[in-house]
Amino acid sequence: MSSALPYLRLVSFLLPLVVTMVVAGMMPQFLAGGIARGLRPTQTLAAYALAWGMADFLASPMSQVRQLALVLVSSRRQALQVLRFVLSCGMLLAAILGLLALSSAGRYIVEDLHETSADLGRVVRLALLLLIPYPLLEALQSWMSGLLMRVRRTEVVSVGMLVGIGASLLTVFVAVPTPLVRELPIALPLLATYAGQLANMIVLVVGISRYVHPRLDGSLGKGVGVDLSFRYLAKFFWPLALTMAIQGLSRPVINLFISRGLQGEQALAALAVVYSLAHLPYTWLNELRSLPAVFVEYGRAGLRRIRRFSGACGILSFLLMVVAFWVPTVRDLLLLDLLAVPAAVAARCHVPLVLFSFFPPAVSVRGYLQGVALRQRRTSALAPSAPARIGAILAVLLLVPGTWWSGTTRGVAALLCGFVLEAFVIWYFVYLRRPIVLSRQKGEA
**pLDDT for the residue 39:** 67
Determine contact, residues 294/152, Cβ cutoff 8 Å: yes
**pLDDT for the residue 223:** 53
Residue 218, phi-psi category: left (phi > 0), alpha (psi -120 to 50), beta (remainder) = left
Let me know if residue 217 belongs to a domain: yes
**pLDDT for the residue 439:** 46
| Alpha carbons 135 and 119: distance in angstroms, whole number | 26
**pLDDT for the residue 38:** 64
Determine contact, residues 378/430, Cβ cutoff 8 Å: yes
Q: What is the pLDDT of residues 193-214, one digit of tens each?
A: 899 899 999 999 999 999 988 8
Q: Which of 205, 232, 94, 233 is nearest to 147 (CA)?
A: 205
Q: Which of 250, 287, 245, 196 is nearest to 60 (CA)?
A: 245
Let me know if residue 417 belongs to a domain: yes
Q: What rounded mean pLDDT belongs to the chain?
A: 83
Let me know if residue 2 belongs to a domain: no
Let me know if residue 1 belongs to a domain: no
Let me know if residue 80 belongs to a domain: yes
When pLDDT is cut at 50, 70 and 90, the band that residue 443 belongs to is: very low
First to last CA, the chain: 6
Q: What is the pLDDT of residues 62-118, one digit of tens each?
A: 888 888 888 888 888 888 889 999 999 999 999 999 998 888 887 888 877 767 777
Mean pLDDT of 128-142: 92
State the Rg of the chain over Cα: 21
**pLDDT for the residue 436:** 47
**pLDDT for the residue 435:** 60
| Alpha carbons 145 and 61: distance in angstroms, whole number | 15
| Alpha carbons 163 and 445: distance in angstroms, whole number | 40
| Alpha carbons 193 and 318: distance in angstroms, whole number | 29
| Alpha carbons 143 and 174: distance in angstroms, whole number | 31
When pLDDT is cut at 50, 70 and 90, the band that residue 319 belongs to is: very high
**pLDDT for the residue 1:** 43
More confident residue, 5 or 385: 385
pLDDT at 152 over 60: yes
When pLDDT is cut at 50, 70 and 90, the band that residue 26 belongs to is: low
DSSP H helices in 73-222: 76-102, 104-107, 118-130, 134-150, 154-175, 179-183, 187-207
pLDDT at 350 over 50: yes
Percent of the chain scoring above 90 in pLDDT = 27
Show the domain range for 293: 7-444
Which CB contacts under 8 angstroms, 24+ apart, belong to 387-392? 387/246, 388/421, 388/422, 388/424, 388/425, 389/246, 389/247, 389/250, 389/418, 389/419, 389/421, 389/422, 389/425, 390/246, 390/249, 390/250, 390/253, 390/418, 391/421, 392/417, 392/418, 392/420, 392/421, 392/422
**pLDDT for the residue 426:** 93
Q: Which of 61, 410, 28, 425 is nearest to 253 (CA)?
A: 410
Let me know if residue 266 belongs to a domain: yes
**pLDDT for the residue 30:** 67
Q: Which of 11, 226, 258, 243 is nearest to 115 (CA)?
A: 258
pLDDT at 257 over 70: yes
| Alpha carbons 431 and 34: distance in angstroms, whole number | 45
Q: Which of 312, 423, 434, 424 is nearest to 373 (CA)?
A: 434
**pLDDT for the residue 315:** 94
**pLDDT for the residue 313:** 93
Burial 107-127 (b: 16+ CB within 10 A, else e): bebbbeebebeeebbbbbbbb
Determine contact, residues 389/363, Cβ cutoff 8 Å: no
Instruction: Work out how many domains the chain is built from and give that number.
Output: 1
pLDDT at 221 over 60: no
Mean pLDDT of 384-410: 85
More confident residue, 242 or 358: 358
pTM score of the predicted model: 0.77
